[in-house]
Chains A and B, each alone.
Chain A
């Protein structure tokens, strides 16, 4: 995305722009399924899509997008028409908590339906993405994460 495209008008205030590899767009639309009627996808380059949404996204949705594609770029467009990149969503050492994704280890305590656990994962590596479950310590690689999100 170039500077002119980032410098949007005030009419586009409070929007979210997502730049993502084209192959991942169908999964992204699945994450955004409640907003898809308002999504306008524009093919900018041969391998990337840019999606525009008329609102801010929740922290949980932003996290899901970055888990799907860590290299996705997410911009928030403010009232003054300027686009600011949303950073710090997925940083090495950061914890991801809540029922965003689940641990695929069937022997993990978080996989036992009646136990009062809240899934929690540490970002071990960003690229390629590796998460580590707080409870069982197992690694979860990016392909397993994408497979979960694809089933949403």
Chain B
């Protein structure tokens, strides 16, 4: 079976659903798609994507919808759960069953962990996880890995620091899973103690041979790393608002701190940013987060074109 055929009809719930070879093929297609990001390429003419966003989104939802439109398809769905019947008690399962009958592909974001996995079990159409609780965000990870590849020409052997709320940020856990598909990556997991990465993820890193180190402060490793991935402290993930207030502002990156970074290092962020990266960093040669967000469009165009063949 040729590699492109392997994507047809596939669900994407976790980045680990794809093998390295498949991710690399997807990146090749994303390279081609970048040319059509503004003009379009009608490979999915008249196909329909359902975007079901039970949690807020700017970049993910808009880039999926733009991707589908650029590929010649159409978009249905909602960006606000109050627009769906789940507010009157309809289950997610029933919503998926209904939407499945209308769509060629379903993109789902939900605060409940495992929701995308349940949706994938129910739907015949492929389901793409746009983020489930604190667990997975595979298309963000594809975008992040694509950014690294575009910047450095490779992912193997990179030294990457992930800073912030590693316990609850799905982009962070997803990225950790994603780099485990490559060789020789070293991770620096930098966070306040209460926000350390969950054991199931660090166990996965150990079992896949990813070298990692847990630290409290980012300054000490700035001269070492190729990429610094900053995460936002997400108030919506804290059951205890007092804990959020205690930890708020406990980590951040400044222009002054970046004087210690080595030349060629890049700063990434899954956005939106709040206190974590001030505007002054935007002007530095390290800032890549806006370009990173822009890459989300060709990456999602590539993904949709491969899955919805």
Contacts and interface: CB of A to CB of B under 8 A. Distances in A.
Secondary structure of the A contact surface, majority rule: loop
Given A136-B133, A137-B135, A109 B112 contact: yes
A109 B91 contact: no
A105 to B, nearest CB: 7
B111 interface: yes
Interface stretch (B30-38, B54-62, B198-206, B210-218): B198-206
Interface string A115-127: 1110000001000
Nearest to B89: A114
Contacts of A109: 92, 112-115, 117-118
A114 B113 contact: no
B93 interface: yes
B200 A114 contact: no
A117 B118 contact: yes
A138 B204 CA distance: 12
A108 B114 contact: yes
Interface in A85-123: 105, 107-110, 112, 114-117
Contact of A137 (B91, B92, B113, B115): B113
Interface residues of B, number: 20
Contacts of B115: 109
B112 A138 contact: no
Contact of B199 (A108, A112, A139): A139
Contacts of A84: none
- What interface size band does chain A fall in? 10 to 19
B200 A135 contact: no
A27 interface: no
A141 B118 CA distance: 24
A136 B91 contact: no
A110 B114 contact: yes
A136 B135 contact: yes
A114 to B, nearest CB: 5
A45 B19 CA distance: 52
Interface of B: 89, 91-93, 111-115, 117-118, 122, 133-136, 198-200, 203
Interface of A: 105, 107-110, 112, 114-117, 124, 132-139
Given A109-B115, A117-B118, A134-B114, 7 more contacts: A107-B111, A108-B112, A116-B93, A116-B122, A132-B200, A137-B135, A138-B113
